[in-house]
Structure 1
Amino acid sequence: MRDLCTLNQKQLDALRELGNIGCGNAATALAQFLNRRISMSVPNAQILPFSKVAELAGGPEERVMGIYLRVLGKIKGSFLLLMPERTTIRMLKILIPTSTVEIPLKINDFERSCLCEMGNILAGSFLNALSAIVNVPMFNSIPSLAFDMAGALIDSVILGMGDVGDHVLMVETMFTDNQENLKMHIFLLPDPVSLELILSAIGVN
């Protein structure tokens, strides 16, 4: 079985395009969820080793919010959404205008629930776009949310993934709500069997 680091250029390009399409679908869903116009920068999709993930999130000691979900169905794997504290605060103040959260983040149960629902919607719309392209059903588990330094959070996610290779598909994008940039990173890691199914479905196996 292959993992992401063993793919050829054609296969990598195809997966990057899947990531871009998934991100576009997620932007549309986010706009509907927030009930406001959301524009999106051109996504930057890369295949990169886990060792580089924390660097792209601002460095291992950068405090971030992480929402983690399992990808379920015929396609299996992991989905991780990382957002800087400032983006998280902006999201909360859009969702809950009365919210008084500031850095360092301390959120109540209702705020946590709203963020989890946002993560659930983003993950679901991202995976729905991929599912339509590869014509294979996939859905996500209930999200789990954590605030931590990027390095520690990513290490804990990797431990929970098991032996599925050491590379991940990352899509970096910037959403804008006409007032502030909302930066986030989306990471998708299909297991080796699922990776083969995806490559076969898009004709680059």
Structure 2
Amino acid sequence: MQYDVLREIGNIGAGNATTALSQMINAKIDMKVPNVELLEFKELSDIVGGAENLVVGILFTLEGQIDGMMMFMMDVDASRHLVNLLLGNTDENTSSEFTEMELSALNEIGNIIAGAYLSSLATLTNIVITSSVPYMAIDMAGAILSVPAIEFGKIGDKALLIETEFGDEIREVNGYFILIPTINSYGKILSSLGL
């Protein structure tokens, strides 16, 4: 039952994030039903294409009534596609090198998507959640995922992974939300939902 509730939070959060992304790039974005799993840290890099897969990771620390971290990850190709859509790049630039402006746009995309997700979580649970300024990195998935694993590995080894596929008429991309609340915060989320 708790797992079903976490899955529903994932569905609503991902839906709101897709709507926010649609409005941001001023284009219709469709989303498939997200896949929601509670996984151990060591399993996460396999889900996002392997430890050596080059990804964009945007990390937020969470404070308020919930402590922990949230990360939004996409592979570099998916990130490039979203940046091209947002900036109206018609030549469909495929370079894995981003300009300053593109990095800023990418950071903003991550900020909007994660903000929409956190906002729906806060609304559903009636819990105050504030997030830090986003930290963005482009690196191998294993390196990026080592940050929350080191930080939170001492208090728990599980993360809530919400894998969602969204896209426009040109292509679909996978995005990964990884929510890593402290053990205490998991309890607060579940009890706020009456579980």
What's the TM-score once normalised by structure 2's chain length? Answer: 0.94
For 2:88, the equivalent position in structure 1 comes to 97
The yes-or-no answer on 1:109 pairing with 2:100 is yes
Going from structure 1 to structure 2, the CA distance change for 1:107 and 1:100 (only over 3 Å counts) comes to: farther
Count of aligned pairs = 194
**Mapped partners of 2:93, 2:61: distance in 1:** 28
Across the aligned residues of Structure 1 and Structure 2, the Cα RMSD in angstroms comes to: 1.5
Secondary structure of the corresponding residue to residue 186 of structure 1: strand
1:164 aligned residue (142, 148, 155): 155
Unaligned runs of 5+ in 1: 1-9
Unaligned runs of 5+ in 2: none
Deviations 1:26-71 (A, max 9, x none): 1111111111111100110000111110000001111111111112
**1:38–1:176 contact (8 Å) kept in structure 2:** yes
Q: % of aligned pairs identical? A: 36
Secondary structure of the corresponding residue to residue 49 of structure 2: coil
For 1:15, the equivalent position in structure 2 comes to 6
2:19 aligned residue (20, 25, 28): 28
For 2:137, the equivalent position in structure 1 comes to 146
**Mapped partners of 1:71, 1:178: distance in 2:** 34
**1:124–1:139 contact (8 Å) kept in structure 2:** no
For 1:38, the equivalent position in structure 2 comes to 29
**Mapped partners of 2:122, 2:156: distance in 1:** 22
**1:128–1:139 contact (8 Å) kept in structure 2:** no
Runs of 4+ in 1 over 4 A off after TM superposition: none
Deviation at 1:162, TM superposition (A): 5.7
Deviations 1:100-138 (A, max 9, x none): 7434x2112211111111111111110111111111121
1:131 aligned residue (122, 131, 134): 122
